[in-house]
Structure 1
């Protein structure tokens, strides 16, 4: 898969490994996330929604059989929310508003089934991004550790300079903003 956002991309020669040609694809699944060559996450979100809807069936069945609300929330967190938040720090910033609304609609459906408020996808994203950023800061061997540079005051982190919206909505600028707030 080739990811190239230049206005005039150069022609790439066919790639061979051990005298075998490597096929070019438009998207592929990596660690459970579907990555497309334009770095849009619609196919990944569609797959997440499909899995979440399949698991919502079980939540409805448990509610129908009279499971207590606390256990329904635990089941939702373990089975449905874990699907919705799979690699959320990677794709959420670049997701379209329409896709975010579709995901949030699934959470609202779960709230109605359970009868209790659940955290929004935005809140889950913020919490997981902050936690991931804190773990990167604690680990000096992490490749991204140097991106979290403290200002001379020692209280805030230096903002990353971004030229594109794609980069601005990515994990690192967002994480630095969350840590500074």
Structure 2
């Protein structure tokens, strides 16, 4: 189980994002099971909770509140939310992604409405593309390296239709779902292969030539299309 609390910090003086980041540089987590992520004045506390023990997570939340009080920062309670993700109930019994993709499709379609409205107001094409990338494409790419390889052709096509709709609205070609998946898998694979501390690093085993990685053996199509076999293949085809 994972709990996440997002806090909105508001300094009494107006600072640039860079200065504010420097100002809050010493605001860190003191527990290895709790991560504290910061982006400008947005702060997120992420805690991994096992066996129902939330003590470490709650302790770090209290430390954050104390740090803010000591450093003249006010937590905006109206913009503070907590989200709980239970990994025990995020996978369907048949190991299919249709319910997840239904949710993603619905959310992306809702945001297409705002893209259409911007088009009606004659917003420049480059800004429409920027809006699409930040607001719609980000939804389509949510966990894409995990789910896309196991998704059915029908589910992939449903997501691709969202991209085509956006292309018609913007009047410009956009990266396909497959291209987005490929680029993100390759990027993640490069990070893992260069990080010896990552649990999956050992799966990227170079052949004696030193130019290619040893392909991972996979008995089933589902396994062959999963992240690591696909990542190794993409790294070899660069």
- List gaps (5 residues or longer) in structure 2: 1-50, 53-84
Please name the residue that 1:172 is paired with: 228
Match of 2:131 among 52, 61, 75: 75
Question: Following TM superposition, by how much is the alpha carbon of 1:38 offset from its aligned partner in structure 2, in angstroms?
Answer: 2.1
Please name the residue that 1:93 is paired with: 149
Match of 1:132 among 185, 188, 199: 188
Matches within 5 A, 1:1-181: 34-181=90-237
How many equivalent pairs are there? 155
Please name the residue that 1:25 is paired with: none
TM-score calculated relative to the size of structure 2: 0.62
Distance 2:175 2:86 in 1: 27
Question: Following TM superposition, by how much is the alpha carbon of 1:165 offset from its aligned partner in structure 2, in angstroms?
Answer: 1.3
Which protein is bigger by CA-based radius of gyration? Answer: 2
- Please state whether the residue corresponding to 2:214 is helix, strand or coil: coil
Distance 1:133 1:125 in 2: 12
CA distance 1:131–1:103, shift in 2 (3 Å): same
Question: Following TM superposition, by how much is the alpha carbon of 1:69 offset from its aligned partner in structure 2, in angstroms?
Answer: 0.1
Q: Tell me if structure 2 keeps the 8 A contact 1:72–1:114.
A: yes
> Going by fraction, where is strand more abundant, 1 or 2?
2
Q: Tell me if structure 2 keeps the 8 A contact 1:59–1:75.
A: yes
Distance 2:147 2:168 in 1: 26
CA distance 1:66–1:34, shift in 2 (3 Å): farther
- Please state whether the residue corresponding to 1:153 is helix, strand or coil: coil
- Please state whether the residue corresponding to 1:119 is helix, strand or coil: coil
Q: Tell me if structure 2 keeps the 8 A contact 1:34–1:43.
A: no
Question: Following TM superposition, by how much is the alpha carbon of 1:34 offset from its aligned partner in structure 2, in angstroms?
Answer: 4.5
- List gaps (5 residues or longer) in structure 1: 1-16, 19-28
- Please state whether the residue corresponding to 1:141 is helix, strand or coil: coil
Question: Following TM superposition, by how much is the alpha carbon of 1:164 offset from its aligned partner in structure 2, in angstroms?
Answer: 1.3
TM-score calculated relative to the size of structure 1: 0.82
Moved over 4 A (4+): none
Question: Following TM superposition, by how much is the alpha carbon of 1:37 offset from its aligned partner in structure 2, in angstroms?
Answer: 2.5
